[in-house]
Structure 1
């Protein structure tokens, strides 16, 4: 895990050969929906493991069949809310919850309009009540312009103030990170890699295309 010195609290996993191998498969245009979804699940699980390294732990007594010893419990793992941004984040959330199995889960349906305005439409929000001891994890594979996540974070904060706010994604563009940090500076971000830039249509370069379409099949053009 590498902290990017351009921002505070922004981390990538470009030092992990396994993550880079999974990301390479996701980038490949020949990768179909099934292996694409499985790749997102793998990334979610791995990043959840890494995220537990940043959580508060406590020592507890445990009795083995032979004697009493000291064990470890991750306190923060029991106070997690995962916000799933539909639809691309569903497989990513599946991976996260395999490790963060105590998590309460919220759903937000948010879509980004076309360039140059990139207006955000939020049609459905279902978020559990957030407690002061919670770590809120917003799962969204592609952090492009940052517009969607800014609006999601604005909405989520209406349900209570958390101990931590964390964004977990696959790829991020510098423009999107800047946008989120401007409006929500306390938010931490964990992504597989930080790519070069956005194109005129708001897609990450080199990127991997539209994560939702690639995971679930491209929508029918009417």
Structure 2
């Protein structure tokens, strides 16, 4: 894990050959949907392991069959709350939960409009109340302009005052990180790699394309909002 000195509280995993190997496969245009999703799960699981190094644990005394000794037990890991930004964050969240298995989960559906405005439409949000001891992880694979995450985190903060607010993703553009840190300086950011820049359409370069389409296929251009309300 490497702290990027350009910002406070921003970390990447560029020092991990294993994650760089997975990222290389994700970037390749030859990687098909099923493999892409499986790679996201692997990334989430590994990043979850690494993230636990930043958490507080409790010291406990136990008895082995031979003598007394000291160990640790879950502390912060018992109080994790993952917010999943639909739809591509689902497999990344699946990987995180393999390590952070006590997590509660909230769902946010948000879409970014076209350049140059990149207006954000948030059509659905379902989150439980947050507690002061919670570590809230917003799971969104691509931090491009930062617009979606700015709106998401702002809405989430209306639901409580957690101990930590963390963003975990695959790739980030410097522009998106700067926008987030300017508006939300207390938010921590952990990504596999920080890429070079955004293009004029708001895509990360070199990037990996539209992560949602690559994981699940191109969606139909219809609104699911009425159906989602009917399922409440």
Query: Which bin holds the TM-score, normalised by the shorter protein?
Result: over 0.9
- The CA RMSD measured in Å over matched residues stands at 1.1
Deviations 1:129-182 (A, max 9, x none): 100111000000000000000000000001100110100000000000011111
Shift of 1:108: 0.3
Shift of 1:94: 0.2
In structure 1, C-alpha distance between the alignment counterparts of 2:69 and 2:159, rounded to whole Å: 40
Q: Is 1:110 the equivalent of 2:110?
A: yes
SS of residue in 2 equivalent to 1:84: strand
In structure 1, C-alpha distance between the alignment counterparts of 2:74 and 2:8, rounded to whole Å: 24
Which residue does the alignment assign to 2:72? 72
Greater alpha carbon shift after TM alignment, 68-77 vs 94-103: 68-77
The count of corresponding residues between Structure 1 and Structure 2 is: 222
Shift of 1:91: 0.3
Q: Normalized against structure 1, the TM-score is what?
A: 0.98
Q: Which runs of 4+ in 1 moved over 6 A?
A: none
In structure 2, C-alpha distance between the alignment counterparts of 1:198 and 1:188, rounded to whole Å: 21
SS of residue in 2 equivalent to 1:53: helix
Paired residues of 1:52 and 1:74 also in contact (CA < 8 A): no
Which residue does the alignment assign to 1:192? 192
Residues 21-40 of structure 1 aligned to structure 2 (within 5 Å): 21-40=21-40
In structure 2, C-alpha distance between the alignment counterparts of 1:27 and 1:62, rounded to whole Å: 46
Which residue does the alignment assign to 2:149? 149
In structure 2, C-alpha distance between the alignment counterparts of 1:176 and 1:29, rounded to whole Å: 24
Residues 51-62 of structure 1 aligned to structure 2 (within 5 Å): 51-62=51-62
> Structure 1: any 5+ residue segments left out of the alignment?
none
Which residue does the alignment assign to 1:127? 127
Which residue does the alignment assign to 1:183? 183
Which residue does the alignment assign to 2:228? none
Shift of 1:58: 1.8
In structure 2, C-alpha distance between the alignment counterparts of 1:32 and 1:220, rounded to whole Å: 19
> Structure 2: any 5+ residue segments left out of the alignment?
223-232
Which residue does the alignment assign to 1:96? 96
In structure 2, C-alpha distance between the alignment counterparts of 1:137 and 1:112, rounded to whole Å: 20
Deviations 1:158-217 (A, max 9, x none): 110011010000000000001111111000000000000000110000000011000001
